[in-house]
Structure 1
């Protein structure tokens, strides 16, 4: 069924009026179309021709494409009497797949670049059945003159979002396009139904651990109106109750905390303070499939009283990000870091021996020294490296037992690396109770308790805290990056672009804060002042390999990323520049997890 001629003429007149002076002529223009026209004009989209971007690095065999393929085939068969094309895009409106009911309509769609690899975002193509879906957030049916660009006005397109069944996030758009005269409202209904079938396929397409996590999440969610969050290694599921309960920053902080805790405990039931200042109760249990950890399912509830812990207020000052200005805005937002800082705060005030656990470079020494200097308005800090203590234990013991006249923090660094003989000497010589001015502290890896040789060492401490790795502190990463930049370029106007910050957030940081500082130092060598862009960051930031790389692999990875940057992401040109086959380049990109 085609459009009513009067309606089509009214729309055409309204669009001409809008393009000419920014006001549309009176007609029954849908609100979402009017809003899209305004956005298209503000983006500077040309109303005369389609000028889409072309992308060379799309994954045409992705999980989304695989789950959508049978649905697309079925939809084309259902509508085989109409010349049309069914397309699938990613969440950035870039076409991943298109299936045509006949070659004639395929040629018509090719002429307007509605083809695999091209982008149909509203900011470049104007009002259409893909980009407008992503802007509007729901399905749309754009017919004829409702399109912003002239060359698209002979078409009608119905598009619907395809959402991740776990998170609700839009993964892509399913679109059906045909000529306007063949358009029917049924197309809109069919594309919405087809998008739901793709979502169901995404739900079924998961491995055993994902299945187990989803089932545990579903059982907990079915119990009532609880705020439920499930966190896996690569999956996050949040019901509507928790999304209504927490703002995005608080939700990110809870996700970080659950991901940190699920590797440490089978069950969790504790109170945590969130970035907004609210305190919540977090109760959760891990989900196991055999010996493999699938994740943790948690229930979150808000405490009625804002502060239920007596240490919260006094520990707050010790929870700031390393190197950051001493302001509330620069405090750590990570509950696990705040909990560690609170434990250290209590120990330092009481001069009780405290052990801080965590990965190297995660900030174990930082939390000790920052807390001590804040509690004692500076004070003295003595740091003894394990290698130096092993080499000269008598000298180390003398430093640890010499009289002090001001509050002093004595830190034994990496004590899990001490020899058994040195541990015995320390345990025998260092007094169990302090003099009120000296606080004994140590840092170690989280595996120290697994080794019998260190049992004597552990008896020297009254308290322990665990500092989370940077990959479990993503909520803090923007502040950490700003703070480190401020330290590295104290008097310079230096800042990170949004794309550079996104790149930092996507990396796993096996070297923790120390590695982040290294990355920013390298970026500053390329961009000493101004805005640090993504391509200023070292190559390893654009690589997330599944296993540790050998030095030779790191060199090859860096060469590939440099060539990709040089070619502007063109993989054909990159393969030619490197002198390797394109298939080899694609394999290496997958092997090294390159995101360039």
Structure 2
């Protein structure tokens, strides 16, 4: 059935009045549109001809495109004779496809870059049916002079959001655009219809993996317990999770369970939250046949921790951080040392396990000697000989990287420590081991001698400590006169820090190597800090990312000049900028906000 979208005309409204108008009735009228103009002016200034950036090649295989293309092709056939174009964008406003429209309309759309690959976010081109629908979070109609940009005032458009039927996440926008003289009230209805049909198609096409995860999620949700579902296209949080945990705790929980993706075995872990509470996260994988589909995480809050007295964390030399998760870790290590309770400290490389042990020992035991032996650099025989000598001499002992020892060396170390535990020495020493998490169980016989185990959180779990960590690390590097601006600290707080505190220290060392004093702004940070991709990069990808960042900085954010300097096409550099999470402007190159 053909829909008459182009024959019933309405008068184009007069030029949209100043957003500074003091007329109360005028201010009340379509308040969201007035706010949109205000946002547009803040983003674009007074320019009347902003242009869309070309972002990347059109993606061809996403949840949205798989569902939308057959729907839009069918709908465009219904309006084949109408001067209207059906436009699909992703959640950032990047145009993915255009369907329908006569030759004159398509030529006009090309002149304003309303074409596949160009980004029509409100911050790029001002008020429009795509970007403003995304900003408002609801269907909108923008008619003629209601557009912020003079280039767009010859068009009228209606945009409707496309959301995922399982997660509710915004996937994109369906926009109908026509010349303003063809404006018709049916535009918005048709856009809503298209969005609804795409949503139905997504649900029909939902793969069996996500449906299996969804089924488990609903089954567990009915038990009255906070639950989160993880799948290929699913991240769902039930109402109880939202009610029981505030937004900061929810974000922390999601950070902790993100590493659970791809895990085929059940596990349970305790995690400290920003509120001071402790949550037990129990992960159960979901399978379709023998293939992993995702998993369900049940959350149990350890309620006593919210009402327990606030623990005063001792101030340790060389240890910095004020987040709840870090304070609890420090307190646990100090108390273990104070009670002379043998301790295993687990954690990823570079989290600060050795620093914690040494600082806690210095705080508790003062001048008493702590022997620190690194199993990764000493041979097994040398380590055992040194350990026996130090223990016999009355020293406390820390064995680093115990997981690197062979099974035979672990057995011998276990025998040595068993003798110590049985009172073979005049003074019972404090002994601590450091290990990486999830190592093989060959150390289990040894670990039975250690009643206490503490997991040191990776830096990405307490990024709020970076503003304190940075000046402390700069002092250890001999750079007390070097400071990072608030914008630079904000950028560092957006990174994944796969190498943890050791990685942060190496970045600060690189900054210090280049300059000795002053304030470091974002454009003076190393290349790797000006891109915020969360995926692990190969060495070649890291080099490519750094080269793009440096080229953009050298050419003041000019993407075309940077692409030419690197010998790549304009489309390629746009695609890689987005893939690496690089954001750019005329004066600097910055990370993309998350």
- TM-score (norm: length of structure 2): 0.78
Are the counterparts in 2 of residues 319 and 331 from structure 1 also a CA contact under 8 Å?
no
* Cα distance change on mapping 1:447 and 1:297 into 2, 3 Å: closer
* Cα distance change on mapping 1:570 and 1:162 into 2, 3 Å: farther
* Cα distance change on mapping 1:26 and 1:185 into 2, 3 Å: same
1:515 corresponds to which residue? 503
1:157 deviation in Å? 1.1
1:417 corresponds to which residue? 404
1:278 deviation in Å? 4.0
1:497 corresponds to which residue? 487
Are the counterparts in 1 of residues 225 and 299 from structure 2 also a CA contact under 8 Å?
yes
Are the counterparts in 1 of residues 313 and 331 from structure 2 also a CA contact under 8 Å?
no
2:592 corresponds to which residue? none
Distance, in Å, in 1 between the alignment partners of 2:492 and 2:369 is: 38
* Cα distance change on mapping 1:555 and 1:140 into 2, 3 Å: closer
1:258 corresponds to which residue? 257
Distance, in Å, in 2 between the alignment partners of 1:534 and 1:375 is: 43
Are the counterparts in 1 of residues 351 and 501 from structure 2 also a CA contact under 8 Å?
yes
1:412 deviation in Å? 0.3
2:378 corresponds to which residue? 388
* Cα distance change on mapping 1:58 and 1:371 into 2, 3 Å: farther
Distance, in Å, in 2 between the alignment partners of 1:193 and 1:375 is: 69
CA deviation profile, 1:214-244 (whole Å, cap 9, x unmatched):
33224334x2765431235785322344334
Are the counterparts in 2 of residues 485 and 520 from structure 1 also a CA contact under 8 Å?
no
2:588 corresponds to which residue? none
CA deviation profile, 1:238-296 (whole Å, cap 9, x unmatched):
2344334432211111123334567596153x775421234556454232456665443
1:428 deviation in Å? 3.8
Distance, in Å, in 2 between the alignment partners of 1:392 and 1:166 is: 55
Are the counterparts in 1 of residues 277 and 303 from structure 2 also a CA contact under 8 Å?
no
3-state DSSP class of the match of 1:517? Answer: helix
2:354 corresponds to which residue? 365
1:239 corresponds to which residue? 238
1:438 maps onto 2:429 in alignment: yes
1:60 deviation in Å? 3.9
1:12 corresponds to which residue? 14
CA deviation profile, 1:199-228 (whole Å, cap 9, x unmatched):
45555666665443333224334x276543
Structure 1, gaps ≥5 residues long: none
Are the counterparts in 1 of residues 264 and 285 from structure 2 also a CA contact under 8 Å?
no
1:163 corresponds to which residue? 163
3-state DSSP class of the match of 1:518? Answer: helix
3-state DSSP class of the match of 2:114? Answer: coil
2:177 corresponds to which residue? 177
Structure 2, gaps ≥5 residues long: 1-6, 583-594
2:460 corresponds to which residue? 474
1:349 maps onto 2:361 in alignment: no
1:439 deviation in Å? 1.5
3-state DSSP class of the match of 1:168? Answer: coil
1:30 deviation in Å? 1.6
3-state DSSP class of the match of 2:421? Answer: coil
1:137 maps onto 2:128 in alignment: no
1:71 corresponds to which residue? 71
1:440 deviation in Å? 0.2
1:317 corresponds to which residue? 313
Are the counterparts in 1 of residues 282 and 297 from structure 2 also a CA contact under 8 Å?
yes
Are the counterparts in 2 of residues 411 and 441 from structure 1 also a CA contact under 8 Å?
yes
Are the counterparts in 2 of residues 76 and 100 from structure 1 also a CA contact under 8 Å?
yes
1:249 maps onto 2:251 in alignment: no
3-state DSSP class of the match of 1:438? Answer: coil
1:51 deviation in Å? 1.5
Distance, in Å, in 2 between the alignment partners of 1:487 and 1:287 is: 43
Alignment of 1:562-573 (within 5 A): 562-563=550-551, 566=554
2:4 corresponds to which residue? none
1:494 deviation in Å? 0.6
CA deviation profile, 1:288-344 (whole Å, cap 9, x unmatched):
456665443134465665547x7x854x6279998425xxxx2244xxx77766654
Root-mean-square deviation (Å) = 4.3
2:585 corresponds to which residue? none
